[in-house]
Amino acid sequence: MIHNVITSIAIKLDEFIKNKLSVNNDTVIVSSLVDIKGNLNQDVENKISIFLIHVEEETITKNATKFSQGNTPPVKINIMLMFSAYFPNFNYVEALRYVSLVIEFFQITNVFDDSNTVGLPLNANRIRCELFNISIDEIGKLWGNIGANYVPSVCYKFKQILFDGENISQDTPRILGVSKKSSNFFDNLDARDVKNIIDENNNPE
């Protein structure tokens, strides 16, 4: 289900950027920036790279919903995705341009379901997204765990992704620009750092 959500959003974002820039080449890839050994993934150059940084259970709606005894309630999760722009050869301004387009896209489209997003399971729960704030201190720790130098990026939280046992087995859409070198860099992420980031977003000043 998580892969359906990420790849479906990637396809929709890619179409938006292509239309804005009048280009034909893929502009979005679902991939981490570096491999498990810390080597730069060449597939992410000159694109928006989308990768998962955290998963959490959605507890607010869970506690507010009642289920009959003996029934296993569905699970709702929230995921945090990083949208980073790596443009080599000192093409920093173009990286900022792509990140700006990501923000513009999510300002226009911040709710996703099977009626407006190809690839999401039928009758999928409406997935809402919001900008996810990371402090200056935490961003340094986060990129240190990623194993790469900071590049222009923005993080979004996608809320209430439903796992009910029925929508998990449905077909996955065409996976846009998935890198063969993709891997999970967050197995060693300090849990306290992640908790601090989550707490800051759940309890803004």
| Tens of pLDDT, residues 117-170 | 888 776 667 899 999 999 998 998 999 888 888 999 999 999 988 877 655 444
Tokens linked to 138: 């935490």
Confirm whether 205 is domain-assigned: no
Q: How do residues 51-104 score in pLDDT, each as one tens digit?
A: 999 999 887 765 555 555 556 677 889 999 999 999 988 899 999 999 999 999
**What secondary structure letter does DSSP report for 189?**
-
Confirm whether 204 is domain-assigned: no
H runs (alpha helix) in 22-165: 60-64, 92-108, 136-146
Grade residue 200 by pLDDT with cuts at 50, 70 and 90.
low
Q: How far is CA 154 from CA 39, 82, 150, 170, in A?
A: 22, 6, 11, 30
Q: How do residues 20-58 score in pLDDT, each as one tens digit?
A: 999 999 999 999 988 888 888 889 999 999 999 999 988
Confirm whether 143 is domain-assigned: yes
Give yes or no for a contact between 55 and 77, defined as CB atoms under 8 angstroms apart: yes
Interatomic CA distance for residues 205 and 193, integer angstroms: 19
Confirm whether 145 is domain-assigned: yes
Confirm whether 202 is domain-assigned: no
Q: Which helix (H) or strand (E) holds 51?
A: strand 47-57
Confirm whether 188 is domain-assigned: yes
Residue 145 confidence (pLDDT): 87
Confirm whether 37 is domain-assigned: yes
Q: What's the total number of domains in the chain?
A: 1
- Structural domain of residue 187, as residue ranges? 2-197
With a pLDDT cut of 90, the percent of the chain lying above it is 46
Confirm whether 203 is domain-assigned: no
Q: How do residues 107-128 score in pLDDT, each as one tens digit?
A: 999 999 888 888 877 666 789 9
Residue 187 clears pLDDT 60, i.e. is over it: no
Q: How far is CA 15 from CA 22, 27, 53, 192, in A?
A: 10, 9, 24, 37
